[in-house]
């Protein structure tokens, strides 16, 4: 509803928000809702604005769930509230937060879903970059604020936002938007779910158009069904939607809506939604799941302890949509999957260890969650440790943007025992330099976990499919090394990084070796004589860390890292091209890199305290002379100013 008078007096004005810090000015109109706050239970109120604004109070203090136009601030006295401690948002749509500049102006802190922070704090940057022409990415992120909002806190998935005696549990519930959350809290002794626009009435959702991400897709329907099932497991008593009436029979509302959406999803796509994906038993102690985009494997000991190899996204659809929606300094979103099923049907009691086949995000994005939720240890091949622990250091394909700790690492050829099983870890480059092949015997089968090295393409000649991604660090003999590795160890079953485990024979491996040797010959033929690896590796000269996080007044310590693929020593001279006010020491780094070897040298960049960046993220370059030849700015690094980072 809208004020009748305000329609006639409609005008645009600039609301100055200068009262508190640098709160952004906001363009607004004179419209306002005419409704009054309504009491649901003693300490829970709802106010119908552009969305439902819920107020949870404790004495004279309150938190608000979503904010609409902010008009509720004029009604606080009638509710007996003198101070709003926080505004918590379920998602970034304008109807939820178009009045946030009022919260900023009054100094009320705003907390937002972690994966939508950029659509609040950096909304203006979103608009500079959002393409309208050639529109196939039809996701309704157009419903984003027109001005930046100052964000005080982000709410990470599966974390708890504690306010006084109330814990708001942050459940990821993508569907209506890709970053949506549901906040679960006990208010007046009832378990309440503030579920945003996941469901608006039993069997109904607020819009269908918000559920479409790609041209012709039904992504938000699939994600919404998955989210509703997970929300159901939390057993809320009441659902408080952003649009529609609170639902006091939450479980039946969830069930009805999930079932109806499932029927609709099958009708539109002819397939089953991600919520129906399930792992399957390969043998009594070995469970595989290949519908999870990157496959993951659970070796389950008689004790009930599990060793996972990889643990990525809930489905291909989850991965693809979250990947594209990930902001530059954020990490891909993860929602829990499969573990309940492993407990119910496969005797899993704990996730003891998880090992990455390689360092790619699609294989490891559940690792930080396993560490936090289950106390799982991460073990890996030694060259992955730094990429995992310091992801800002590197510019490689598919890095996960959240660092986490590795508990144990293995050298090439190292054997270890876990529970009643024995394994051998080997280096297996090709798909990426940072990949292992792990061999072990499970239920009498000699299994090789090979990540994304080789896939069964069903070819008559037995040749296994491989892939080639130069950004992943490939050298001319990488694939040859990894197939030789398999030939020497003769596994019977390959557990690949995507798809189901498949039987493999020596003939197939030999045919594959022939094939990758052909690829190697192409590399030699196509690239300048003696320079093959320089033409395959875009980062033979690189700066470490690649993504620098700093602030004025700090001194950044960089390493210039050079990989010399020549059979003779190489003389290097490197100078950093950075803002002129920075003090760079030394101004030219001179060193020699031995033949077929690597070397690194430090350089420090002192940023004056008085210096102010033109942007929160920008690039610097390294100008390079090698063996007396001026090559120019052949490598670079990105600089993030502190405060803009997510991890």
Minimum Å distance from CB 344 to Zn ion?
A: 27
Write down the residue that tokens 């700093």 correspond to: 550
Q: Which residue, 236 or 496, is less far from Zn ion as judged by CB?
A: 496
Q: Which residue, 50 or 148, is less far from Zn ion as judged by CB?
A: 50
Q: Which residue, 465 or 583, is less far from Zn ion as judged by CB?
A: 465
Q: What is the per-residue binding string for Zn ion in 559-588, x denoting contact by CB under 5 A? A: ------------------------------
Q: Do β-strands 502-503 and 493-496 pair in parallel, antiparallel, or remain unpaired?
A: antiparallel
Minimum Å distance from CB 409 to Zn ion?
A: 19
Cα gap 66→110, rounded to integer Å: 10
* SS3 label, residue 11: coil
Q: Which residue, 272 or 469, is less far from Zn ion as judged by CB?
A: 469
Q: What is the per-residue binding string for Zn ion in 306-345, x denoting contact by CB under 5 A? A: ----------------------------------------
Q: What is the per-residue binding string for Zn ion in 443-482, x denoting contact by CB under 5 A? A: ---------x------------------------------
Q: Which residue, 227 or 626, is less far from Zn ion as judged by CB?
A: 227
Minimum Å distance from CB 451 to Zn ion?
A: 6
Minimum Å distance from CB 227 to Zn ion?
A: 14
Which residues inside 17-56 make contact with Zn ion, applying CB under 5 A?
none
Minimum Å distance from CB 111 to Zn ion?
A: 17
- Is residue 68 a contact residue for Zn ion (CB under 5 A)? no
Q: Cis link prior to 586 (omega < 30° from 0)?
A: yes
DSSP state for residue 144 in the 8-state scheme: S
Minimum Å distance from CB 176 to Zn ion?
A: 5
Q: By CB under 5 A, which span of 18-26, 192-200, 272-280, 555-563 interacts with Zn ion?
A: 192-200
Q: Which residue, 448 or 541, is less far from Zn ion as judged by CB?
A: 448
- Is residue 197 a contact residue for Zn ion (CB under 5 A)? yes
Q: What is the per-residue binding string for Zn ion in 90-109, x denoting contact by CB under 5 A? A: ---x----------------
501 close to 494: Cβ distance less than 8 angstroms? yes
575 close to 585: Cβ distance less than 8 angstroms? no
* SS3 label, residue 189: coil
Q: By CB under 5 A, which span of 116-124, 190-198, 254-262, 567-575 interacts with Zn ion?
A: 190-198
Cα gap 114→578, rounded to integer Å: 31
Which tokens hold the place of 246? Answer: 């609170």
Biggest alpha carbon distance in the chain? 83
Q: Which residue, 396 or 638, is less far from Zn ion as judged by CB?
A: 396
- Is residue 294 a contact residue for Zn ion (CB under 5 A)? yes
Cα gap 193→236, rounded to integer Å: 6
- Is residue 362 a contact residue for Zn ion (CB under 5 A)? yes
Q: By CB under 5 A, which span of 88-96, 102-110, 298-306, 365-373 interacts with Zn ion?
A: 88-96
Minimum Å distance from CB 471 to Zn ion?
A: 11
Cα gap 156→330, rounded to integer Å: 11
Cα gap 270→309, rounded to integer Å: 31
Q: Which residue, 37 or 497, is less far from Zn ion as judged by CB?
A: 497
> C-alpha angle with apex 642: 641 to 647, nearest 5 degrees?
115
Torsion, CA 498, CA 114, CA 22, CA 122, rounded to 10: 30
577 close to 620: Cβ distance less than 8 angstroms? yes
Minimum Å distance from CB 93 to Zn ion?
A: 3
Q: Which residue, 102 or 360, is less far from Zn ion as judged by CB?
A: 360
- Is residue 429 a contact residue for Zn ion (CB under 5 A)? no
Binding residue count for Zn ion, defined by CB under 5 A: 7
9, with CB counted inside 10 A (0-12, 13-18, 19+), is exposed
Minimum Å distance from CB 387 to Zn ion?
A: 12
Half-sphere exposure of 436 (CA within 13 A, CB side): 29
Q: Which residue, 330 or 452, is less far from Zn ion as judged by CB?
A: 452
Calculate the alpha carbon distances from 543 to 394, 540, 607, 622, 631 in Å.
8, 10, 17, 8, 16
Q: Which residue, 95 or 640, is less far from Zn ion as judged by CB?
A: 95
> C-alpha angle with apex 272: 267 to 274, nearest 5 degrees?
130
Question: Roughly how many angstroms between the first and final C-alpha of the chain, as a whole number?
Answer: 41
3-state secondary structure 378-422: EEEEHHHHHHHHCHHHCCCCCCCCCCCCCCEEECCCEEEEECCEE
Which residues inside 481-520 make contact with Zn ion, applying CB under 5 A?
497
Q: By CB under 5 A, which span of 85-93, 247-255, 330-338, 401-409 interacts with Zn ion?
A: 85-93
Q: How many residues appear in the chain? A: 647
38, with CB counted inside 10 A (0-12, 13-18, 19+), is exposed
Backbone angles phi, psi at 208, to 5 degrees: -95, -35
Among 92, 139, 360, 479, binds Zn ion (CB under 5 A): 360
Q: By CB under 5 A, which span of 72-80, 282-290, 302-310, 356-364 interacts with Zn ion?
A: 356-364
Q: Which residue, 37 or 451, is less far from Zn ion as judged by CB?
A: 451
Minimum Å distance from CB 450 to Zn ion?
A: 11
Minimum Å distance from CB 36 to Zn ion?
A: 23
Q: Which residue, 234 or 467, is less far from Zn ion as judged by CB?
A: 467
Question: By C-alpha distance, which of 311, 314, 298 is closest to 360?
Answer: 311
Q: By CB under 5 A, which span of 102-110, 118-126, 220-228, 292-300 interacts with Zn ion?
A: 292-300
Which residues inside 213-242 make contact with Zn ion, applying CB under 5 A?
none
Write down the residue that tokens 């000991």 correspond to: 301
Write down the residue that tokens 């009441």 correspond to: 238
Question: By C-alpha distance, which of 593, 591, 585, 594 is closest to 558?
Answer: 585
The contact set with Zn ion (CB under 5 A) reads: 93, 197, 294, 360, 362, 452, 497
């Amino acid at each position: 509803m809208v004020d009748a008078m305000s329609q006639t007096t409609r005008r645009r004005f600039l609301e100055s928000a200068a009262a508190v810090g640098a709160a952004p000015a906001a363009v607004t109109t004179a419209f306002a809702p005419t409704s009054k706050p309504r009491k649901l239970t003693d300490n829970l109120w709802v106010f119908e604005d552009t969305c439902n604004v819920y107020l949870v109070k404790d004495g004279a203090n309150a938190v608000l769930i979503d904010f609409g136009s902010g008009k509720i601030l004029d009604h606080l006295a009638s509710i007996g509230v003198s101070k709003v401690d926080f505004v918590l948002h379920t998602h970034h749509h304008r109807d939820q937060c178009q009045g946030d500049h009022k919260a900023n102006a009054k100094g009320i802190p705003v907390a937002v879903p972690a994966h939508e922070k950029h659509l609040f704090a950096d909304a203006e940057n979103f608009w500079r970059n959002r393409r309208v022409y050639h529109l196939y990415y039809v996701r309704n992120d157009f419903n984003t604020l027109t001005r930046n909002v100052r964000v005080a806190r982000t709410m990470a998935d599966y974390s708890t936002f504690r306010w006084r005696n109330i814990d708001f549990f942050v459940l990821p519930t993508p569907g209506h938007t890709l970053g949506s959350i549901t906040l679960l809290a006990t208010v007046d002794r009832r378990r309440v779910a503030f579920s945003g626009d996941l469901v608006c009435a039993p069997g109904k959702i607020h819009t269908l158009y918000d559920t479409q991400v790609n041209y012709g897709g039904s992504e938000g329907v699939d994600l919404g069904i998955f989210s509703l099932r997970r929300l159901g497991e939390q057993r809320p008593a009441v659902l408080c939607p952003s649009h529609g009436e609170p639902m006091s029979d939450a479980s039946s509302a969830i069930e009805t809506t999930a079932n109806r959406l499932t029927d609709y999803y099958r009708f539109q796509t002819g397939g089953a939604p991600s919520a129906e994906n399930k792992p399957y038993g390969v043998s009594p102690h070995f469970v595989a799941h290949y519908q999870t985009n990157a496959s993951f494997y659970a070796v389950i000991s008689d004790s009930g302890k599990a060793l996972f190899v990889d643990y990525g996204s809930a489905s291909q659809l989850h991965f693809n949509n979250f990947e594209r929606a990930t902001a530059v300094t954020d990490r891909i979103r993860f929602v829990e999957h499969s573990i309940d099923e492993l407990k119910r049907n496969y005797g899993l009691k704990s996730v003891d260890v998880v090992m990455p086949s390689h360092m790619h995000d699609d294989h490891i994005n559940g690792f930080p969650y396993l560490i936090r939720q289950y106390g799982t240890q991460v073990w890996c091949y030694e060259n992955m440790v730094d990429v995992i622990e310091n992801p800002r250091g590197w510019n490689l394909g598919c890095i996960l943007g959240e660092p986490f700790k590795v508990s144990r690492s293995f050298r090439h050829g190292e054997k270890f025992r876990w529970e009643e099983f024995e394994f051998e870890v080997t280096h297996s480059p090709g798909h990426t330099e940072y990949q292992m092949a792990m061999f072990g015997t499970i239920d009498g089968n000699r299994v090789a976990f090979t990540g994304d090295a080789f896939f069964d393409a069903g070819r008559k000649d037995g040749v296994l499919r491989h892939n080639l991604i130069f950004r992943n660090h490939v050298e001319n003999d990488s694939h040859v090394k990894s197939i030789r590795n398999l030939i020497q160890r003769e596994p019977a079953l390959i557990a690949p990084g995507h798809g189901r485990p498949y039987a493999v024979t020596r003939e197939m491996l030999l045919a594959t070796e022939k094939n990758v040797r052909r690829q190697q010959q192409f590399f030699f033929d196509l690239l300048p004589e003696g320079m093959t690896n320089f033409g395959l590796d875009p980062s033979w000269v690189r700066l470490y860390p690649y993504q620098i996080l700093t602030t004025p007044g700090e001194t950044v310590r960089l390493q210039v890292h050079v990989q010399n693929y020549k059979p003779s020593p190489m003389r290097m001279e490197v100078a950093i091209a950075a803002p002129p006010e920075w003090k760079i020491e030394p101004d030219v780094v001179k060193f020699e890199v031995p033949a077929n070897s690597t070397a690194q040298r430090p350089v420090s960049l002192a940023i004056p305290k008085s210096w102010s960046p033109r942007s929160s993220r920008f690039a610097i370059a390294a100008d390079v002379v090698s063996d007396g030849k001026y090559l120019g700015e052949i490598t670079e690094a990105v600089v993030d100013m502190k405060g803009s980072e997510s991890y």
